[in-house]
Amino acid sequence: MNARNLVEELGRRLNTALALDEGGLARIIVDQTLPVDFELDEPHGALLVYAVIGILSPGAAREAFFEKVLAANLFGSQLAPCSPAFDTERNEILLWFSLNESAHVDDAVSALEALVAYAEQWRNELSRTLTGDAGAESVAPASGSFEAYMRA
């Protein structure tokens, strides 16, 4: 299934009109507050799906947040199938994943659901970080724990 068909099928599963425009872009708004973007990466045969968590200027709060989100991403233990990223031009922190042409629509729906859940979780964490109310327990593991992973 090509990326355009996959996006349209995702829309059908979500009961919403969803299709890539001529530029290869589409967007849905979840709960009227969370934009989720779809972007066709034709050279790589992939569909990029991402949500912006927030904007952070350089400083201690950004470093603290980066430490938390990167620790949660250790071997994908708390963020899989999503990955954190930072857009230096916009100072935006986002979560993203990609789908290739062999992606199954059920897997795409599951990945999208995970992206939305993690984006909401990490938006809350970012808010706590910015207000100075970020305790060690503020980000609970989505599934599993660091102890479940062992390094050789």
CATH architecture of the domain covering 3-136 = 2-Layer Sandwich (3.30)
pLDDT in tens, 30-87: 999 999 999 999 999 899 999 999 998 888 888 999 999 999 999 888 899 999 999 9
Is the predicted pLDDT of residue 139 greater than 70, yes or no?
no
Tell me, what's the pLDDT at 58? Answer: 86
CA distances in angstroms from 58 to 61, 72, 91, listed in the order given: 8, 21, 8
Tell me, what's the pLDDT at 138? Answer: 39
Is the predicted pLDDT of residue 142 greater than 70, yes or no?
no
Judge whether 70 and 83 are in contact, CB under 8 Å.
no
| More reliable by pLDDT, 84 or 137 | 84
Q: What are the two backbone dihedrals, phi and then psi, of residue 44, each rounded to the nearest 5 degrees?
A: -105, 0
8-state DSSP, 75? G
State which amino acid sits at residue 63. E
Residues 6+ apart with CB under 8 A from 77: 141, 144, 145, 146, 148, 149
Q: Across residues 142-152, what is the average pLDDT?
A: 34
Tell me, what's the pLDDT at 129? Answer: 85
pLDDT in tens, 91-109: 899 999 999 988 999 999 9
Judge whether 45 and 1 are in contact, CB under 8 Å.
no
Global pTM?
0.83
Residues 6+ apart with CB under 8 A from 10: 18, 105, 108, 109, 112
